[in-house]
A and B are shown apart, each in its own frame.
Chain A
């Protein structure tokens, strides 16, 4: 690689700092807000005057507990199930798409792409009516199904690209070595596809975890309402207090798993997104 001149280095450093600040400032601001006393929210300072955990107590043990804890449970449960189903289905579909020549292959891929770029907001109203009629409104399943429509297309696309990079010869070699088709898939392909499947699972999880529109429109009680939607129902301790602190605390809590997952698996994610595991 070319070594950079000093000026170029400085320029890059400046750009990096600007981008970092731009990206992280809102996050830091929310964290700071989450530690402010409700009475001091309007002081206009960036950092809390007195650091307090009142907001966290409120969402985990206090008045917002009944709103937040079920929502957290819903979010985790629904996102995990949606991710699991999406990844299993997408793995099988993507494998078929990468390996087999069948009629309608193009159609499936284009449909998947179409579904994923279709504006959510235009589906949600008909879905609302339909769910009310067939009893899926305000249930886990009622959210898992629309989440699959978000997570499946992207999972199929990334996994198909991933499977295409695994040399078909490996599978054929396994078959010649005495494996059945299923054994060849399990012993030669799955281990190589694992990083790709994992990356896809993370992406799918984040999509489900971050959804707001379906969450707010298709639920009405804490039976199925996920965290992003639940935040809208937070109220202050009295009607003169704003719930901003509690909302910030809840936002921090739901951001933490995302940050932890990304930090833990950043190498897998990067390699999963950039290469496809097999070289040479």
Chain B
């Protein structure tokens, strides 16, 4: 186990393409860090540079306290799970898992190898499949064999490159919790690449958001959700994604397409001399006014909206409200949409309401939101003007404390089960 330190890592491919533009990141020993971003943003490239399959153009990569820029993959002692699993088709499951052990000539006896492989197989519930070939296994089983190959040796760190993207949704959920449990128990430093924000939010201690080879923000999942530094992070994290509306500033009011919002002094000073801003509101921060208690209603802003389509999902009701965006911010929002792999769909407000709500397609609904939850972004740079650095630090500190506690609990539990076994 070891910490991994990236300092100004740059990758320029042979064809001149700059895939990673100076990424610095400190990954603590035992930490679970997620690299997330839309496809093509350089996540895999970064991971492959860490593991040694891709040369580092410039910058410094340390594992533990050793600079490993020029070390071959096998000298870095990292374990990697590939997107397509990369199992050896000619070897049985047993031999696939034993493969890394067999390469350490003479270090392990056959009995020790057997013991380790069987332990890994038991952890991953592969005992019944040890004699089978990978081609005869299901996707989830192959995935577990790939993980078995990673955990069987004492690697400095685990690296995952979108390991669940080839599985169906249900299995993905199961394997996700499986990976989280395994990592907590082993306490091994882990770097996990994904473009799926559910995986990013649920698995990681910290999440690093990448865009076009540049690191946008590194924070706890909660930190990213509550205190995104810019438009990109705000739009990427959260599902359904955050709504972005044009906001016209006149005096102490902010005019949105649906409603006027009074500005607090703090917000007023943060907006400064801008006449137009981009306003972000998460779908879950809206409510159906008719379902609200009276006290709460007065604390927020209510407005009437023509609901176009509704989707009832059991736990939530999504309502879609089309609106015209203003031309001043259209350019920025279109670019953002492209960066987020969007479809360039028409502008509409998505609101997630209580599933009890009786609002249906075509209704004129009275909706409510709390202006304190609103985020304001600079229309040019995309910077989050409502970003609160103290609050962000506080969230991350609390998250770090929670992580340490849960790691200790997991390892305590592990010791107990081993003693009783």
Contacts and interface: CB of A to CB of B under 8 A. Distances in A.
Given A179-B74, A192-B90, A172 B135 contact: no
Contacts of A178: 74, 77, 100, 103-104, 153
A188 B53 contact: no
Q: Which of A167, A173, A174 has the most CB of B within 10 A?
A: A173
B236 to A, nearest CB: 28
A175 B73 contact: yes
A223 B73 CA distance: 54
A176 B103 contact: no
B53 A172 contact: yes
A176 B74 contact: yes
A52 interface: no
Interface string A254-280: 000000000000000000000001111
What is the predominant secondary structure among interface residues of chain A facing chain B?
helix
B88 A188 contact: yes
Interface in A148-188: 167, 169-170, 172-180, 183, 187-188
Contacts of A175: 52-53, 72-74
B367 interface: no
A192 B149 contact: no
A191 interface: yes
B14 A101 contact: yes
B332 to A, nearest CB: 39
Contacts of B52: 175-176
B312 interface: no
B89 A176 contact: no
Contacts of B37: none
B325 interface: no
Contact of B84 (A169, A187, A188, A191): A169
Interface string B15-59: 000000000000000000000000000000000000111000000
Interface string A180-224: 100100011001100000000000000000000000000000000
B88 A176 contact: no
Given A176-B78, A279-B135, A183 B88 contact: no
B142 to A, nearest CB: 8
Contacts of A173: 80, 82, 86, 88
Given A167-B84, A176-B73, A278-B89, A183 B103 contact: yes
A170 B88 contact: yes
Nearest to B90: A191
A277 B133 CA distance: 14
A169 B86 contact: yes
A265 B72 CA distance: 40
Which interface class (under 10, 10 to 19, 20 to 34, 35 or more) fits B? 20 to 34
A101 B104 CA distance: 31
Interface string A39-71: 000000000000000000000000000000000
Contact of B103 (A167, A179, A191): A179
Contacts of B84: 167, 169
Given A167-B84, A280-B135, A177 B51 contact: no
B134 interface: yes
Contacts of B51: 176
A173 B153 CA distance: 14
Contacts of B119: none
B74 A167 contact: no
A192 B89 contact: yes
B225 interface: no
A280 B133 CA distance: 11
B79 interface: yes
B99 interface: yes
A174 B99 contact: yes
Contact of A176 (B79, B90, B104): B79
A169 B104 CA distance: 21
Contacts of A170: 86, 88
A158 B103 CA distance: 31
Contacts of A176: 51-53, 73-74, 78-80
A33 to B, nearest CB: 47
A252 B134 CA distance: 45
Nearest to B89: A278
B101 to A, nearest CB: 9
Q: Which of B51, B52, B82 has the most CB of A within 10 A?
A: B82
Interface string B82-97: 1010101110000000
A176 B89 CA distance: 17
Contacts of A280: 89, 134-135
A178 B135 CA distance: 24
A117 B80 CA distance: 46
A191 B103 CA distance: 16
A172 B103 contact: no
A169 B82 contact: yes
A175 B104 CA distance: 12
Contact of A172 (B86, B88, B89): B86
Q: Which of B53, B84, B86, B149 has the most CB of A within 10 A?
A: B86
Contacts of B86: 167, 169-170, 172-173
A165 to B, nearest CB: 12
Contacts of A172: 53, 73, 82, 86
B80 to A, nearest CB: 5
Nearest to B75: A178
Nearest to B102: A187
Nearest to B51: A176
Contact of A177 (B53, B72, B103, B135): B103
Interface of A: 101, 167, 169-170, 172-180, 183, 187-188, 191-192, 277-280
7 contacts: A167-B86, A169-B86, A172-B73, A176-B52, A176-B53, A176-B74, A178-B153
Given A170-B88, A176-B78, 9 more contacts: A167-B84, A169-B84, A173-B82, A174-B99, A176-B74, A178-B100, A180-B72, A187-B88, A277-B89
Closest 8 CB pairs of A and B: A173-B86, A177-B100, A169-B86, A178-B103, A191-B90, A175-B73, A178-B74, A176-B80
